[in-house]
Structures are given as C-alpha cells and as structure tokens.
Amino acid sequence: MKERKNIRLRNYDYSSDGLYFITICTKNRENHFGEIAAVDTVGIVGTSHVMSQRSQQMVLNEIGKIADEYLNDIPQHFSHVEMDEFIIMPNHVHCILVLDKSLVGVGVGVGTRHVVSQHHVVSQPTQYNQFSKPITGSVSVIIQQYKSSVKRWCNKNGHEYFQWQSRFHDHVIRDGESYERIKNYIINNPSHWNDDSLKTKTEINEL
C-alpha cells in the first residue's frame, strides 16, 4: 500500500499565531458547490458614459451556500480565529485564516473581510509539536471540524454523495507581499477558473 504524503510541516506548531492560506478540495475535485457563470456588469465611467462588460462570478448552489455560511461562522466556534478573504469555488475552498490568541474573550466579529495588521504576517518563530498530533485550536482541528460540519449537513439534507478530499493544503503566510498576492489570487479566482489547476470538467454558463 502506497504511503500517503504528509503535506503538513512536520515540526511546525499550527496553533501558533499567524496567517494561513488554506485550500480544501472536494473528493475527486467534483463540482459540488455551484458553477462559474459569465454575467453582464455595468459600470459608470466619468459622468456620462456607461460601460458594460462580461465577468465570471461564482454562483453558489445549496451545498455551496452552506459551505460559505459555515466557513464564515468559524470565529463563532474558535474565538482566537478571524476569517480574512475567502471564496467557495465549484470544487474547492480558498481562505485565509488569522490565528491570534489575543482575540480570546474579546468578541470577534464574524465575516469581516479586512486588511490584516502587519504584525500578523511577519515571520513567526518555528515552534515544535514532537509527534505532529492535532493540537486544540490548531489549523488542522479547525479545518477538520469545518469539513465535518458541512458533511453532516449534507447527510441530513439529501446530499449523502458529497465527500471532501481527505487532506487539505496549507501555506504559512510570512510577509505582507505574500499576503497581498494570495488575497488577490482569492479575489480573482473566478475570473481565472478556465486556467485553474484545480478545475476538472465544467462549462461557463450565462445568466
């Protein structure tokens, strides 16, 4: 039996304060969350000119709306976590998690997509978890509970076929430049769907 590759940094403490770029995929990258649709957007240029253009946007289905809602609710269950930029795509989720233990007991606002203060994105000293086991409040625990919550809802609401990929991908954001690049990548993800490496088979539908 082929050994599965461990995509966590073995000796990194994923409960330490900092920013984490997370990607979670559906099993076999199946499109369970909705579709990318080409829509007309209208903008005003100057004082008298109206410009119409086509853009690609994510249209969430029922499961996608739950995935979005539950992602937005993470700070209600983990008081040391804030959600920064995130998006639900047809077959995966991208988000930036902010872990900050100073938030505990402060009453964190839910669903605020804000510019994170610079102290969160400076290089964090590496801390060690000897046996790489899940730590309470760590990124692994947060994501596993999120995935389980979405799966439970699906099982109770006629979507038993829905499955997550067993693992998820994370990246520790260590500086402001990386933060801005990743944030822009998340925001523009629908527009780049045709070239997305996570895309399988889908069509661009028109609304």
Q: Considering its fold, how many domains does the chain have in total?
A: 1
The pLDDT of 70-95, averaged and rounded, is 95
Residue 129 lies in a domain: yes
| Residue-level pLDDT at 40 | 67
pLDDT digits (tens, 9 = 90+) for 153-181: 999 999 999 999 999 999 999 899 999 99
Residue 3 lies in a domain: no
4 pLDDT more than 80: no
| Residue-level pLDDT at 197 | 77
Our CA angle for 145, 9, 198, nearest 5°, is 65
Instruction: Show the domain range for 83.
Output: 18-195
Residue 112 lies in a domain: yes
DSSP string, 61-127: -HHHHHHHHHHHTHHHH-TTEEEEEEEE-SSEEEEEEEE-GGGTTT-PPSS---PPPGGGTSPPPP-
Average pLDDT of the chain, as a whole number: 76
pLDDT digits (tens, 9 = 90+) for 28-78: 999 999 999 987 665 555 555 555 566 789 999 999 999 999 999 999 999
Residue 202 lies in a domain: no
Local confidence band at 135 (pLDDT 50, 70, 90 cut-offs)? low
Residue 8 lies in a domain: no
| Residue-level pLDDT at 196 | 73
**What pTM did the predictor assign?**
0.72
| Residue 30: CATH number of its domain | 3.30.70.1290
Local confidence band at 147 (pLDDT 50, 70, 90 cut-offs)? very high
The pLDDT of 10-35, averaged and rounded, is 83
